[in-house]
A and B are shown apart, each in its own frame.
Chain A
Amino acid sequence: MAVTAVAGAEARPIPRLRRLEDERWLALALLMPTAILLGLFIAYPFFEGVLLSLTSQRVGVPGEFVGLKNFVKIWNDSIFRTTVWNTFWYTGVTTVFKLALGLWLAMLLNRHFKGKALVRAFILLPFIIPTVLSTFAWKWMFDPTFSVINWALFHLGLITQRINWLGDPDLAMTSIIVVNIWRGVPFFAISLLAGLQTISPELNEAAAIDGARPWNRFWYVTWPLLLPVTMVVMLFSVIQTFADFQLVYVMTGGGPANATHLFATYAYQLGIGTGLLSEGAAISLAMFPFLFIIVVVQLLYIRRVETR
C-alpha cells in the first residue's frame, strides 16, 4: 500500500489531466454530459418545434415559412378553445384534489402503526403501474355496457339506469379527472410524507404543551414548514398534468365530441391523424406560454416562501 502511494506521488499526471485540477474546467467537464443530453433531447426538439410551427409543413410535404398563420388558425378554432378550457379545468381540479388527499394520506402515514412500511409501499402502486395499463383497467370500469361501478351501484339499489360514464361530456371529464387523481395522489402523499418527516416532532410537542389544538398545530406549525415541499410537488404535478396524453388517449381519444381533448391529444390528432405537422406543433407550443406563466409564478412564490 505504502509503495503504491509513493509510486503515485512520483508519477506526475499528464498535463491534459492536470487541467482538471482547476475547478472551473472540472465543473465544465462534469456538466458536459448533462448539457449535451439536454441539448440533444430537449433544446433541439424544442427549437425544431418552434421552426415547424412557423411553416406550412405536412407529412411528406416540405412547407414554406408562413409566420404566425398557424397560431392565428388555431386561435379561431373552436375545438382548440375547448381544448384550452379542458386542460385548465383538468389541471386545476385534479391538482386541488391530489393535494388535499395526498396531504391527508401523508399525515396518516406519518403516524406509527403496525405494518407501516408495507402500507407505504402499497400506497405507491397506482403510481408505479404503467399508466396505459391502469388506464385500460379504468376504461373497463367505466365501460358503457359492462361498468363494474354501474353494476355495484345497481345492486346496491342506488341507480335504476346505467350511468353513461364516458359518453356524457361532463361525466367523461369527471371520469378522467378521477383517474388522474387516483394516479397522482401517491406521488403527493409520498413526497409530502418525506417533507413531514423533516419537521422536528419537538415543535409540535412544544405547541401542544402551550395548549395548541390539533388544527392549530397543523395550521401554524406543520403547514408553514411543509409549504416549500408542497410547492415543489405541485409544480411537478401541474407540469405533468397539463401535458398529459396517455390517460385521455386511452380512455376517450378526446371524445365524446371533443369534450375531453387536452393540448397533447389534440396536437396528436392534428399532427399525426391529419398529417398537419405544423399545426400540431403550433398547438403543442401554445401550451408553452400558459405553462411558462404558471411555472414562473410558482417558482417566484417558492423563493418568497423559502426566504421568509
Chain B
Amino acid sequence: MAKTKRRSVLKLAGGAAMGGMAGILATGRTPAYAQQKTVHWLKWVDFVPATDQMFRRELVPQAEKELGMKINLETVNGNDLQPRITAGIQSGSGADIIMSFNSYTHLYANSVVDMGPLAEEVGKREGGIYKYAQAICSNGKGVYMGMPWAVIGGMIAYRKSWLDEVGATKFPDTWESYRDVAKKLKAKGRPFGQTLGHTFGDAPGFTYPYMWSWGGKEVEADGKTVVINSKETVESVKFMTGLWKDGMDEGGLAWDDTNNNRAFLSQTIAATLNGASIYIESLRKPDQYKTEKGEPLNKDILHAPLPKGPAGQFGFHLLQSNMVMKYSKNQDAAKQFLTWLHQEANYRKFFESQKGFATPCTAKWEEDKLWDVDPVMTPYKVAAKLGQAPGFAGPPDAKAQEGLSKYIITDMYAKAVQGMPAEESVKWAESELKKIYVA
C-alpha cells in the first residue's frame, strides 16, 4: 500500500501550479518527477534503532543519488510483515521489496522473483553463502526466493556474577548442568527465563534447537514421514517439565518476545535466550541499568550458545531476506537497489550500525574486525553458520513453515509444562504434524 505523504501532495500541487494541469493535458506528459523510478522497501522496525536512523539519514539518500531513483523506506513491526505480504500478493499491489522472516520465502515462492544471480554474485565475492541461509532462501535448485540479508542470532544472555555465586564459572554446556545451575539460582529467586508463548522469535528459537539436541525431529529427510513421536522427543518433553518446575520462571508461558528483555533488565531472571538486544540496551543506558551492587549491568552480561544434548548442539536463528515481489512493476529497479545495498561498502554501514546484533549470511564477515571490538558480542559471529531450520530433517519448505506458525513444537512443550503427560503431548504434536505433512 503506497502512502500519500504530505510532501508528495505539496510537490504535486507545486507542479500543477507551475506547469499547470493544462500543460500536462496539452503535452500528454506528466512532469519529469513522476517518471522517476520509485522503489518501495518494506522492512521490520529494527531492534537496533540506530540502524533505521542510519538508513534514513545516510544509505537511502545516497542510493537515491547514485542510482537516480526514489526509495520509499517503510518500517513495520516484525509481526505485521505477514499481513502486509498477504495483502500485497492477493491484491497485486504493494511494496516492491519486502523483508522475509525465515521460511516466508518458501511460503510465498510463487509470488516472488528469482534472486539467484545476485545471490550467486554476492556468494562468490564474499566466500560463499552459509548453508543455513541457502536452505531457507533457495529451493535447492539455484532459485533464490529471497536475497539473504542477515541472521539475528539467538544466544543465551546471562549474569556472570550470579552464576559465579552458585559456583558456575562458565555457562553450563549440557542440559543437565543447565538444570542444576538454574535450580540453584531459582532457589535464590533468580531463575532462568524462557518464553513458551505464541511468539515468532524466542519461543521457537528455544524449543526447536532444544528438541533437535535431544534427537527429536519433525520429519524424515523425505519431508513426508512424521517421526516426532520418538523416544527422544518424549525424553526431551519429560526433561522440560522438570526443568520448568526446578529452574525456570514459570511466567514464561505467557511471555512474548519482549518480556524476557524486561525481566532480565529488571534483574528478575539470571539467563535467557535472546538476540543481543538486552546487552545492547544495557550498553545504551548504563546509568539506568545497574546491578544490585550499583555496577553497570552491561559489565555483568555474557553470551553463550544453547547447551548440548545427547544428539548435539543446535541453534535456530531468525533469518531475514529481501523478496522482490512478482506483482511489482519496478522489479529491475528493485533488483538494482538490492545489488547496490549488497555492495561491500554499503552493506558495511548496515553491519557496523548493528554492532553484532545482525550476522551477515556470507563467510567473509566472520573475520571482520568488528567482532573483536567487543568480546561479549563475539559468540554471535557464528550464529548464521550454526543455524538449522524448522522442518528438519526435511527441507524448510511451506509445510515446515505451517508447523512453525501453528506453534506446534512450542505448544507441545507448553502443554506438558501445564500438566499434560509427556507421551500425550507428543502424540498431540504428532497428530497435528501429520495433518500438515500427510494431507
8 Å CB interface, A247-275 against B: 252-258, 269-275
The digit string for B51-82, where 1 denotes a CB below 8 A from any CB of A, is 00000000000000000000000000000001
Q: Which candidate, B249-257, B314-322, B353-361, is the interface stretch facing chain A?
A: B249-257
Residue A240 lies at the interface, judged by CB distance under 8 Å to chain B: no
| Contact A168 B86, CB 8 Å, known A146-B262, A257-B418, A274-B402 | no
* Interface range for A: 35 or more
CB nearest neighbor in A for B200: A273
Contact pick for A168, options B85, B108, B253, B439, CB 8 Å: B253
Q: Which candidate, A14-22, A72-80, A102-110, is the interface stretch facing chain B?
A: A72-80
The digit string for B228-264, where 1 denotes a CB below 8 A from any CB of A, is 0000000000000000000001111111100100110
CB nearest neighbor in B for A150: B251
Contact pick for B418, options A79, A143, A169, CB 8 Å: A169
B82 lies within 8 A of A273 (CB): yes
| Contact A167 B415, CB 8 Å, known A59-B108, A143-B259, A145-B262 | no
Q: Which candidate, A126-134, A158-166, A198-206, A296-304, is the interface stretch facing chain B?
A: A158-166
List A contacts of B107 (CB < 8 A). 59, 274-275
B198 lies within 8 A of A252 (CB): yes
Say what secondary structure dominates the interface of chain A: loop
Contact pick for A59, options B85, B196, B256, B414, CB 8 Å: B85
Residue A214 lies at the interface, judged by CB distance under 8 Å to chain B: no
Residue B344 lies at the interface, judged by CB distance under 8 Å to chain A: no
B110 lies within 8 A of A165 (CB): no
List B contacts of A276 (CB < 8 A). 402
CA gap between A59 and B110 in the complex, in Å: 9
The digit string for B106-147, where 1 denotes a CB below 8 A from any CB of A, is 011111000000000000000000000000000000000000
A269 lies within 8 A of B254 (CB): no
CA gap between A116 and B253 in the complex, in Å: 44
B414 lies within 8 A of A164 (CB): no
Contact pick for A253, options B198, B398, B401, B435, CB 8 Å: B198
CB nearest neighbor in A for B414: A257
Contact pick for A167, options B251, B401, B406, CB 8 Å: B251
CA gap between A270 and B107 in the complex, in Å: 13
B237 CB to nearest A CB, Å: 13
A145 lies within 8 A of B435 (CB): no
B254 lies within 8 A of A256 (CB): yes
Residue A144 lies at the interface, judged by CB distance under 8 Å to chain B: yes
Residue A181 lies at the interface, judged by CB distance under 8 Å to chain B: no
CA gap between A89 and B86 in the complex, in Å: 31
List B contacts of A79 (CB < 8 A). 406, 432
List A contacts of B435 (CB < 8 A). 73, 76-77
Residue B288 lies at the interface, judged by CB distance under 8 Å to chain A: no
Among A59, A270, A271, the one with the most B-chain Cβ atoms within 10 Å of its Cβ is A59
B114 CB to nearest A CB, Å: 15
Residue A211 lies at the interface, judged by CB distance under 8 Å to chain B: no
| Contact A167 B82, CB 8 Å, known A252-B198, A255-B198, A269-B405 | no
A144 lies within 8 A of B252 (CB): yes
B110 lies within 8 A of A60 (CB): yes
Residue A285 lies at the interface, judged by CB distance under 8 Å to chain B: no
List B contacts of A254 (CB < 8 A). 198
8 Å CB interface, A169-199 against B: 169, 172
A208 CB to nearest B CB, Å: 52
A71 CB to nearest B CB, Å: 14
Contact pick for B253, options A253, A256, A269, CB 8 Å: A256
8 Å CB interface, A117-147 against B: 142-146
A145 lies within 8 A of B266 (CB): yes
List A contacts of B263 (CB < 8 A). 144-145
List B contacts of A253 (CB < 8 A). 197-199, 256
Contact pick for B254, options A146, A164, A274, CB 8 Å: A164
B411 lies within 8 A of A257 (CB): yes
| Contact A256 B418, CB 8 Å, known A59-B111, A275-B86 | yes
Residue A11 lies at the interface, judged by CB distance under 8 Å to chain B: no
A145 lies within 8 A of B259 (CB): yes
Contact pick for B266, options A60, A146, A164, A270, CB 8 Å: A146
A273 lies within 8 A of B432 (CB): no
A59 lies within 8 A of B411 (CB): no
List A contacts of B351 (CB < 8 A). none
8 Å CB interface, A52-80 against B: 58-61, 73, 76-79
B90 CB to nearest A CB, Å: 7
The digit string for B400-439, where 1 denotes a CB below 8 A from any CB of A, is 0110011100010011001000000000100110010001
Q: Which residues of A contact B (CB under 8 A)?
A: 58-61, 73, 76-79, 142-146, 162, 164-169, 172, 252-258, 269-277
Starting from the known contacts A73-B435, A270-B406, A275-B86, 18 additional A-B residue pairs (CB-CB under 8 Å) come to A58-B398, A59-B111, A144-B251, A145-B259, A146-B266, A164-B254, A167-B197, A167-B253, A252-B198, A253-B198, A255-B414, A256-B414, A257-B418, A258-B407, A258-B411, A269-B405, A274-B401, A276-B402
- Can you identify 20 A-B contacts, CB atoms within 8 angstroms? A59-B107, A60-B110, A144-B252, A144-B255, A145-B262, A145-B266, A164-B250, A253-B198, A255-B197, A255-B198, A255-B407, A256-B198, A256-B254, A257-B196, A258-B411, A269-B405, A273-B82, A275-B398, A276-B402, A277-B90
Q: Which residues of B contact A (CB under 8 A)?
A: 82-83, 85-86, 89-90, 107-111, 196-199, 249-256, 259, 262-263, 266, 268, 398, 401-402, 405-407, 411, 414-415, 418, 428, 431-432, 435, 439
